[in-house]
Amino acid sequence: MIEKLKKLDVGLVKENIDVKNLTTFKVSSIAKALVIPNDLDSLITLLKFLKSEKIKYKVIGQGSNLIFVNKTFNGVLIRLDKFNKLEIKDNNIIIGAGYSLMACALKLSKLGFKGMEFASGIPGSVGGSIVNNAGAYNSSMSHIIKSAKVLTKDYEVKIFTKEELGFKYRSSFLQYKDDYICLEGEFILDKGISENILKTIEERKEKRFNSQPLNYPSAGSVFRNPPNVSAWELIEKLGFKGKNIGGAQVSNKHANFIINTNNATGKDIKKLILAIKKEVKKEYDIDLVIEQEFVE
């Protein structure tokens, strides 16, 4: 398979790659290959090959919400690192799916664009953040996006408007379409005063540092907040703070964070998440929605 991938000449191919270096949880799992396509044509050629050969694959971003459960991933990972354009025309800004959301938010803020401050602490890719409608501080991608360019399962490139993307709290239409790939987004941002915008970012950065366990590998908040209550409150009331399975632990600093304290496995993390979910359902009859995705 590796030799065939290399002969396709569609981009960088890495064999037996450890996803520990591709995800924020820093959990080890060996994938058969990682491919970084050169461009759209290369991506399409790659996808056609993988489907014709019935090879398992997954498109990933910065790995900030992925939990690889097993010691191996018997397939190909695809990262859109080369899809990293940033085009600015007045208030319209086009950003490639592979662009780091944090880096993009900081760059645009320095240029005096406001509206992306919320994203300065979200360690994901722009594409993944559109798909999952990433957000913070009462804002999200759905507040600033105009449209997204998407590759469909039939290898057609289509533009989906904000309305067609079907945004909801931490989700979009694309989240339920595994065979659709977000290529780029078009955003509308107003101009502001860069000093004021950067001050807001710094204040929020300090607040996160004081309230979240940023010194440990994690994937951010584990559960979405249900109506009228914070997930961390429910978890804390049940006494889960500090509880661990293997190297996975519920943070003592923030109960809605699970951290990798000592070489946690994907199975450790999954077991702990499901244990919390089960107990919250039993005690409060609330079915917590998991923010992260289990990759198996």
Using DSSP bridges, classify how beta strands 113-114 and 190-191 pair: parallel, antiparallel or unpaired.
antiparallel
Active-site residue identified among 147, 170, 172, 218: 170
Under 8 Å between Cβ of 35 and 10: yes
What the block records as the tokens of 83 is 């899809």
291 included as an active-site residue = yes
Is residue 35 within 8 Å of residue 13, measured between CB atoms? yes
Q: Which of 79, 120, 218, 291 is flagged as catalytic?
A: 291
Catalytic residue among 129, 172, 221, 251: 221
Helix (H) or strand (E) holding 73: strand 72-79
Strand order in the sheet with 11-18: 11-18, 30-37, 72-79, 57-60
Residue type for position 57: Y
Is the CB of residue 266 less than 8 Å from the CB of residue 276?
Answer: no
Q: Are 135 and 115 in contact (CB under 8 A)?
A: no
Region of 170 please: left (phi>0), alpha (psi -120 to 50) or beta.
left
Q: Is 206 a catalytic residue?
A: no
- Distance (Å, rounded) from C-alpha 24 to C-alpha 5? 27
47 Cβ partners below 8 Å, 6+ apart?
57, 155
User: Catalytic residue numbers?
Assistant: 170, 221, 291
